[in-house]
Chains A and B, each alone.
Chain A
Amino acid sequence: MFRWTLINIPVAVHQYTYTVRQVFSMKTLFSMDGQTIDPSAVLKLKRKRIVCIGAFGATRRYRLIPHRIRTTHSLLVPVVLLSLCLCTTTTASFVSKITNKRVKTVSPLSSSSGDKKDALHPNTITRRAALAAITSIAFFPSLTQADTTNDGSADSLERIRLGEGRWKPLHRSEMIISNVNDGPVTLISASFCTYAARFLIQYDRGVSSWWTELEAHLKTEQLNKEKLLGRAFGSFAKSLEQAFGTQSIEQLYDHFVTSYGKQPDAARQIALLFTLLPASQQPIFRLQNYYDEFNEIASISNNNAVKELNYKSPSSINTSYFGDNLTRLLPATFHITKQQRGNNSGFTIEPAVTLDETRVIGEEFGGGSVITTFGPLASVPLIRETPVYAPKTYALFGLAGATGCTITHALVIPLDGTFRSLFLAPGMSCCTLGHPCKTTLLTIDNNSPSCNSFENAGPNRPSGNSGSEQR
Chain B
Amino acid sequence: MATVAVSNGSSRSGPPAAKSMLNAGLKIVDTEGIGALFLGAQATIAGYFWYGLSVYPSYTFLKRYLVSHLDYSAVMNHANEIALLAGALAAVVASLGLTPLEAARIRVVADPTVYKPLGLTGTIGVIANEDPVLGWTNLYAGLPSLLTRQVIFGSIKFLAFERACEFLFALWPSLRDATWTSLLVSLVAGGLSGVISSAVSQPADSVLTYVAKDSSSSRGLGLLDGVRRMVEQEGPRSLFRGLGSRCVWAGSIIAGQFLLYDVFRTLFGVSSDDLSQMYEVALILLPGGGEG
* Interface mask (A378-416 → B, CB under 8 Å = 1, otherwise 0): 000111111001000111111111111111111111110
Query: Is B224 close to A, CB under 8 A?
Result: no
Task: Assess the A422–B24 pair: CB atoms within 8 A.
Answer: yes
Give A263-297 interface residues, CB cut-off 8 Å to B.
Answer: 286, 289-290, 293
Task: Assess the B292–A397 pair: CB atoms within 8 A.
Answer: no
Task: Assess the A258–B286 pair: CB atoms within 8 A.
Answer: yes
Which of A254, A425, A440, A467 has the most C-beta atoms of chain B within 10 angstroms of its own C-beta?
A440
Task: Assess the B264–A399 pair: CB atoms within 8 A.
Answer: yes
Cα distance A440–B146 when bound, in Å? 9
Partner of A417, one of B6, B39, B286: B39
Task: Assess the B131–A445 pair: CB atoms within 8 A.
Answer: yes
Counting chain A residues whose Cβ lies within 8 A of the other chain, the interface size class is 35 or more
Partner of A142, one of B4, B70, B198, B213: B70
Q: Which residues on the B side are within 8 Å of A81 (C-beta)?
A: 45, 49
Q: Which residues on the B side are within 8 Å of A149 (C-beta)?
A: 68
Chain B, interface SS category: helix
Chain B nearest CB, measured from A198 CB (Å): 16
* Interface mask (B39-56 → A, CB under 8 Å = 1, otherwise 0): 111111111111111111
Segment from A52-60, A130-138, A325-333 that makes contact with B: A130-138
Query: Is A181 close to B, CB under 8 A?
Result: no
Q: Which residues on the A side are within 8 Å of B265 (C-beta)?
A: 396-397, 400
Partner of A438, one of B73, B118, B149, B273: B149
Contact A467 to B7, CB < 8 A, known contacts A168-B278, A404-B52? yes
Task: Assess the B253–A446 pair: CB atoms within 8 A.
Answer: no
Q: Which residues on the B side are within 8 Å of A405 (C-beta)?
A: 48-49, 51-52, 257, 260-261
Cα distance A242–B246 when bound, in Å? 52
* Interface mask (A103-132 → B, CB under 8 Å = 1, otherwise 0): 000000100110011011101001110111
* Interface mask (A151-189 → B, CB under 8 Å = 1, otherwise 0): 000000100101111111111010010100000000000
Query: Is A84 close to B, CB under 8 A?
Result: yes
Task: Assess the B173–A367 pair: CB atoms within 8 A.
Answer: yes
Give B52-73 interface residues, CB cut-off 8 Å to A.
Answer: 52-57, 60-61, 64, 67-68, 70-73
Closest to A158 in B: B279
Contact A447 to B266, CB < 8 A, known contacts A255-B286, A389-B275, A440-B106? no
Task: Assess the B10–A419 pair: CB atoms within 8 A.
Answer: yes
Query: Is A49 close to B, CB under 8 A?
Result: no
Query: Is B218 close to A, CB under 8 A?
Result: no
Query: Is A342 close to B, CB under 8 A?
Result: no
Task: Assess the A470–B12 pair: CB atoms within 8 A.
Answer: yes
Q: Which residues on the A side are within 8 Å of B198 (C-beta)?
A: 437
Chain B nearest CB, measured from A64 CB (Å): 15
Contact A436 to B250, CB < 8 A, known contacts A91-B117, A242-B280, A257-B290? yes
Partner of A166, one of B11, B183, B269, B282: B282
Task: Assess the A401–B73 pair: CB atoms within 8 A.
Answer: no
Cα distance A169–B289 when bound, in Å? 31
Partner of B42, one of A85, A394, A407: A85
Q: Which residues on the A side are within 8 Å of B43 (C-beta)?
A: 433
Chain B nearest CB, measured from A341 CB (Å): 24
Task: Assess the A398–B54 pair: CB atoms within 8 A.
Answer: yes
Q: Which residues on the A side are within 8 Å of B289 (C-beta)?
A: 251, 254-255, 257-258
Q: Which residues on the A side are within 8 Å of B231 (C-beta)?
A: none
Query: Is A427 close to B, CB under 8 A?
Result: yes
Task: Assess the B102–A433 pair: CB atoms within 8 A.
Answer: yes
Task: Assess the A404–B253 pair: CB atoms within 8 A.
Answer: no
Give B235-292 interface residues, CB cut-off 8 Å to A.
Answer: 241, 245-246, 249-250, 253-254, 256-270, 272-286, 289-292
Task: Assess the B8–A430 pair: CB atoms within 8 A.
Answer: yes
Query: Is A6 close to B, CB under 8 A?
Result: no
Cα distance A418–B182 when bound, in Å? 33
Chain A nearest CB, measured from B181 CB (Å): 9
Cα distance A426–B105 when bound, in Å? 12
Cα distance A130–B269 when bound, in Å? 16
Chain A nearest CB, measured from B226 CB (Å): 14
Contact A85 to B45, CB < 8 A, known contacts A427-B110, A454-B111? yes
Contact A431 to B44, CB < 8 A, known contacts A389-B60, A441-B5? yes
Query: Is A337 close to B, CB under 8 A?
Result: no
Which of B25, B176, B178, B281 has the most C-beta atoms of chain A within 10 angstroms of its own C-beta?
B281
Contact A70 to B269, CB < 8 A, known contacts A90-B120, A400-B264, A426-B109? yes
Partner of B55, one of A165, A401, A436: A401
Cα distance A397–B266 when bound, in Å? 10
Chain B nearest CB, measured from A212 CB (Å): 14
Task: Assess the A441–B212 pair: CB atoms within 8 A.
Answer: yes
Contact A430 to B46, CB < 8 A, known contacts A74-B268, A239-B281, A246-B283? no
Q: Which residues on the A side are within 8 Å of B3 (C-beta)?
A: 441-444
Which of A92, A126, A130, A400 has the most C-beta atoms of chain B within 10 angstroms of its own C-beta?
A400
Task: Assess the B7–A470 pair: CB atoms within 8 A.
Answer: yes
Task: Assess the A433–B98 pair: CB atoms within 8 A.
Answer: yes
Closest to A235 in B: B279
Chain A nearest CB, measured from B256 CB (Å): 4
Q: Which residues on the A side are within 8 Å of B177 (C-beta)?
A: 27, 126-128
Chain B nearest CB, measured from A243 CB (Å): 4
Query: Is A323 close to B, CB under 8 A?
Result: no
Task: Assess the B277–A169 pair: CB atoms within 8 A.
Answer: yes
Contact A410 to B45, CB < 8 A, known contacts A113-B263, A418-B25, A428-B8? yes
Query: Is B76 close to A, CB under 8 A?
Result: yes
Q: Which residues on the B side are within 8 Å of A396 (C-beta)?
A: 265, 268-270
Contact A389 to B64, CB < 8 A, known contacts A426-B110, A433-B101, A437-B198? yes
* Interface mask (A211-253 → B, CB under 8 Å = 1, otherwise 0): 0000001001100000000000001100110111011001111
Cα distance A45–B285 when bound, in Å? 36
Cα distance A221–B72 when bound, in Å? 10
Q: Which residues on the A side are within 8 Å of B80 (C-beta)?
A: none
Closest to B250 in A: A436
Chain B nearest CB, measured from A279 CB (Å): 20
Query: Is B193 close to A, CB under 8 A?
Result: no
Segment from A17-25, A343-351, A455-463 that makes contact with B: A455-463
Query: Is B222 close to A, CB under 8 A?
Result: no
Q: Which residues on the B side are within 8 Å of A253 (C-beta)?
A: 290
Q: Which residues on the B side are within 8 Å of A444 (C-beta)?
A: 1-4, 110
With A246-B283, A437-B8, A437-B11 given, name 16 new contacts (CB 8 A): A90-B115, A127-B178, A141-B67, A142-B70, A162-B281, A404-B52, A404-B260, A415-B25, A428-B9, A429-B105, A433-B51, A436-B249, A440-B6, A441-B146, A442-B106, A457-B112
Question: Can you spell out 13 A-B residue pairs with CB atoms less than 8 angstroms apart?
Answer: A85-B45, A90-B116, A95-B35, A166-B281, A289-B292, A384-B276, A384-B279, A421-B28, A422-B24, A433-B146, A442-B6, A454-B111, A460-B31
